[in-house]
């Protein structure tokens, strides 16, 4: 997400306060200059930037400030507050009413992403249990109905349109009437794209609005035009009663910050932002959590809301098993499904303090999602006995033929099945330890049910399961501590009745274990220690002793020089290029030319 560059620059400017020995006017001005430069580079209007600077200066009077106050935190909070005001229009956004028929009409410029955004909004509410549908009233652009039809079919959303009728007013009216008769709760109408200078299209837009009487008119705006959005938004607002704004393409342009601030200047509330081309790259826009995530401070309450949407507490059978330290492969399958429901991994990680929205690249995110789906496919090939056994790994170890059967049924290698069983064993062991902690599953405030020492042990166990790169990143990032005064890695931090930091960290460990280390940004591994040369005809025993001296201790596995585990061995000392297979915990040495 390009906005993350803006977040990094502002965070860097705020952190410069920590490097200063004395906080004086010179340090404050230098920090504000960095913040203002970053905002101007993001195409924020210069008047708004000037206003932000003046407001911070007036709020922070270093000479009059009491000596006991923390000047750094006061300045950081003042900047944070002004950044929130920059994107906050101060107007409450419209929200649909459950059980009522809500008609939403989309308007906007050509190419701003209206049709795709219509599908995203319908899909968003559909996942939350609403009955949604789509109507294509765009008769101006060729292929508009085909695009909406394709998106709706993919998301399994009912739609209405016509290849023969050319009057958008008739199509919109008939579609709304049809879906109202079928008791749909959210009816979304897509209209033709237009420009503020196209009077005929504006007249058509007014006719459609008068015919269907929408409850909410949403203006879809392309973030790439930056602060020019203000003139366009005002033009649309003057013609029709625009109640909400959705900003698209925030992942692909550096002018996103200018677009957001420009819309806020028109006093039009932003309800959603588009952060990618996929149907789930769509987030509700709330000013304070947005700025918080932008600066790497996370959105703990948003994360808790997402976890609560899964209604994990309603699964009494699972909780009862967890109390007794039992965890089956079927339970693991259900938790995989829960992770898929939570949305893109990058969104989830962006809600955790210390992780930015760009911590996981799109490529790694898609790879992790594909890996998760593959593991679910493997479990689809298992029978009830294997899925419901309290020790699924033991069932497979007693009868190795089961692994081959599952591998054939799911179209994967036996190695993939073994990897799944390894992941399952790790988590089953942790659940067993959790089951031994009294009060963990009582509900309510976890800090009152579980002692500090028990929670510390549980967190240590979870930390062992996480990829070391993630732990390093969590320890190295302290943005939340600096900007909010809350230690994001403390054992207990309360928001309402939730042990939110513990919950977020534990959910991260679960997510990361299942998403796999491939999801983490890859860094170059440290240079290995040089191995002593092996003379021609070296025995496997001497080879093993070298391995033991290096602290590997892994079982040696014979591999043919043609296997993909390592390159063909050109000489008896080719084993120096051995490949360490971390997933299976083995060192695979090419054995060509080595003594037996």
Mean pLDDT calculated for residue range 564-569: 38
- Asked if residue 548 and residue 510 are part of one domain, the reply reads no
Domain assignment present for residue 23? The answer is: yes
- Asked if residue 213 and residue 141 are part of one domain, the reply reads yes
- Asked if residue 255 and residue 304 are part of one domain, the reply reads no
**Worst-scoring range by mean pLDDT, 246-255, 318-327, 551-560?**
551-560
Give the max Cα distance, the chain: 89
Domain assignment present for residue 276? The answer is: yes
Q: What is the CATH number of the domain that holds 22?
A: 1.20.120.140
* Contacting residues for 421 by C-beta, under 8 A, at least 6 apart: 392, 393, 396, 403
- Asked if residue 500 and residue 362 are part of one domain, the reply reads yes
**Worst-scoring range by mean pLDDT, 187-196, 213-222, 399-408?**
187-196
Domain assignment present for residue 343? The answer is: yes
pLDDT at residue 102 in the model: 95
30-56: per-residue pLDDT in tens?
889 998 998 888 888 888 889 889 999
Domain assignment present for residue 387? The answer is: yes
pLDDT at residue 278 in the model: 84
- Assess whether pLDDT exceeds 70 at residue 126: yes
Which of the listed residues 234, 265, 292 is the one where a domain comes to its end?
Answer: 292
pLDDT at residue 434 in the model: 66
**Worst-scoring range by mean pLDDT, 123-127, 492-496, 531-535, 555-559?**
555-559
pLDDT at residue 462 in the model: 54
- Asked if residue 131 and residue 164 are part of one domain, the reply reads yes
- Assess whether pLDDT exceeds 60 at residue 571: no
- Assess whether pLDDT exceeds 80 at residue 140: yes
353-370: per-residue pLDDT in tens?
656 555 556 566 677 778
* Contacting residues for 129 by C-beta, under 8 A, at least 6 apart: none
- Asked if residue 168 and residue 39 are part of one domain, the reply reads no
- Asked if residue 115 and residue 12 are part of one domain, the reply reads no
Confidence bin at 3 (pLDDT 50/70/90) = low
Q: Percent of the chain, pLDDT > 90?
A: 19
pLDDT at residue 224 in the model: 82
- Asked if residue 424 and residue 340 are part of one domain, the reply reads yes
507-554: per-residue pLDDT in tens?
455 555 544 444 443 444 444 444 444 444 444 444 443 333 333 333
Domain assignment present for residue 96? The answer is: no
Mean pLDDT calculated for residue range 201-223: 88
pLDDT at residue 63 in the model: 73
CA distance 120 to 370: 21
Q: What is the CATH number of the domain that holds 384?
A: 1.10.260.30
pLDDT at residue 463 in the model: 53
Domain assignment present for residue 316? The answer is: yes
pLDDT at residue 510 in the model: 53
Q: Percent of the chain, pLDDT > 70?
A: 62
CA distance 489 to 505: 8
- Assess whether pLDDT exceeds 50 at residue 575: no
Select the more confidently predicted residue: 234 or 173: 173
- Asked if residue 330 and residue 271 are part of one domain, the reply reads no
Domain assignment present for residue 530? The answer is: no
* DSSP E strand stretches across 223-332: 244-248, 270-274, 282-284
CA distance 411 to 405: 10
Which of the listed residues 292, 317, 339 is the one where a domain comes to its end?
Answer: 292
- Asked if residue 415 and residue 266 are part of one domain, the reply reads no
pLDDT at residue 256 in the model: 73
Question: Residue 190 is inside which H or E element, if any?
Answer: strand 186-190
- Asked if residue 304 and residue 267 are part of one domain, the reply reads no
The DSSP line for 419-468 is: HHHHHHHHHHHHHHHHHTSTTTTS-S-HHHHS-HHHHHHHHHHHHHHS-H
Residue 132's domain spans which residues? 102-292
The CB density around residue 225, as the number of other CB atoms within 10 Å, is: 20
- Assess whether pLDDT exceeds 90 at residue 178: yes
CA distance 456 to 512: 20
Closest-CA residue to 20 (of 72, 56, 58, 61): 72
Domain assignment present for residue 251? The answer is: yes
The SS3 assignment for 82 reads: helix
Q: Domains in the chain: how many in total?
A: 4
213-267: per-residue pLDDT in tens?
999 999 898 888 877 777 777 877 777 788 888 988 887 666 677 777 777 777 7
* DSSP E strand stretches across 257-348: 270-274, 282-284
Which of the listed residues 248, 272, 292 is the one where a domain comes to its end?
Answer: 292
- Asked if residue 408 and residue 374 are part of one domain, the reply reads yes
The CB density around residue 559, as the number of other CB atoms within 10 Å, is: 19
Q: What is the CATH number of the domain that holds 159?
A: 3.40.50.300
Q: Compute φ and ψ for 134, nearest 5 degrees.
A: -130, 145
The SS3 assignment for 559 reads: strand
Confidence bin at 487 (pLDDT 50/70/90) = very low
CA distance 259 to 249: 11
The DSSP line for 92-128 is: PPP---TTS-EEEEEEE-TTS-HHHHHHHHHHHHHHT
273-296: per-residue pLDDT in tens?
888 888 888 888 888 888 887 777
Mean pLDDT calculated for residue range 382-392: 88
447-486: per-residue pLDDT in tens?
455 555 655 555 555 555 555 544 444 444 443 343 333 3
């Amino acid at each position: 997400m390009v906005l993350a560059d803006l977040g990094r620059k502002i965070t860097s400017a705020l952190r410069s306060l920590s490097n200063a020995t004395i906080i004086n006017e010179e340090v404050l001005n230098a920090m504000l200059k960095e913040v203002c430069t970053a905002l101007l580079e993001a195409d924020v209007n210069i008047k708004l930037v000037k206003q932000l600077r003046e407001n911070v200066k007036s709020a922070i009077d270093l000479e009059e400030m009491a000596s006991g106050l923390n000047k750094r935190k006061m300045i950081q909070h003042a900047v944070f507050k002004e950044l929130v005001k920059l994107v906050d229009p101060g107007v409450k956004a419209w929200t649909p009413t459950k059980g009522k028929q809500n008609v939403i009409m989309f308007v906007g410029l050509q190419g701003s992403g209206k049709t795709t955004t219509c599908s995203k909004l319908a899909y968003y509410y559909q996942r939350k249990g609403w009955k949604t549908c789509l109507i294509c009233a765009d008769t101006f652009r060729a292929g508009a109905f085909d695009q909406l039809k394709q998106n709706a079919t993919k998301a399994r959303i009912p739609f209405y349109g016509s290849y023969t009728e050319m009057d958008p007013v008739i199509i919109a009216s008939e579609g709304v009437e049809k879906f109202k008769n079928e008791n749909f709760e959210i009816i979304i109408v897509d209209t033709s794209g237009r420009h503020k200078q196209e009077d005929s299209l504006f007249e058509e837009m007014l006719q459609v609005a008068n015919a269907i009487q929408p409850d909410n008119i949403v203006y879809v705006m392309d973030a790439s035009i930056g602060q020019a959005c203000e003139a366009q938004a005002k033009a649309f607002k003057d013609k029709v009663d625009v109640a909400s704004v959705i900003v698209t393409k925030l992942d692909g342009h550096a002018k996103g910050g200018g677009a957001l601030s420009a819309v806020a200047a028109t006093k039009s509330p932003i309800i959603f932002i588009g952060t990618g081309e996929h149907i789930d790259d769509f987030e509700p826009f709330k000013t304070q959590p947005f700025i918080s995530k932008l600066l790497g401070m996370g959105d703990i309450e948003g994360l808790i809301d997402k976890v609560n949407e899964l209604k994990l507490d309603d699964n009494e059978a699972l909780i009862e098993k967890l109390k007794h330290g039992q965890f089956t492969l079927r339970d693991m399958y259900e938790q995989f499904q829960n992770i898929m429901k939570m949305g893109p991994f990058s969104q989830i990680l962006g809600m955790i303090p210390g992780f930015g929205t760009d911590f996981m690249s799109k490529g790694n995110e898609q790879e992790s999602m594909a890996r998760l789906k593959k593991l679910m496919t493997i479990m689809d090939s298992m029978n009830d006995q294997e899925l419901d056994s309290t020790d699924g790994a033991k069932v497979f170890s007693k009868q190795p033929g089961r692994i081959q059967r599952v591998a054939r049924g799911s179209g994967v290698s036996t190695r993939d099945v073994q990897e799944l069983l390894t992941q399952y064993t790790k988590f089953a062991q942790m659940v067993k330890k959790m089951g031994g902690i009294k009060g963990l599953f009582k509900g309510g405030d976890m800090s009152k049910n579980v002692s500090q020492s028990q929670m510390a042990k549980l967190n240590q166990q979870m930390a062992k399961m996480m990829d070391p790169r993630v732990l390093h990143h969590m320890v190295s990032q302290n943005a939340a501590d600096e900007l909010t005064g809350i230690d994001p890695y403390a054992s207990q931090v309360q928001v309402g009745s939730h042990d939110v930091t513990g919950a977020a960290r534990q959910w991260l460990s679960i997510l990361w274990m299942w998403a796999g280390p491939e999801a983490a940004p890859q860094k170059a591994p440290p240079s290995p220690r040089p191995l002593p040369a092996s003379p021609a005809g070296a025995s496997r025993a001497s080879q093993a002793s070298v391995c033991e001296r290096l602290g590997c201790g892994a079982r040696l596995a014979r591999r043919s020089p043609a296997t993909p585990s390592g390159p063909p061995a050109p000489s008896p000392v080719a084993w120096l290029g051995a490949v360490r297979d971390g997933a299976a915990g083995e060192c695979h040495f090419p054995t060509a030319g080595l003594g037996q």
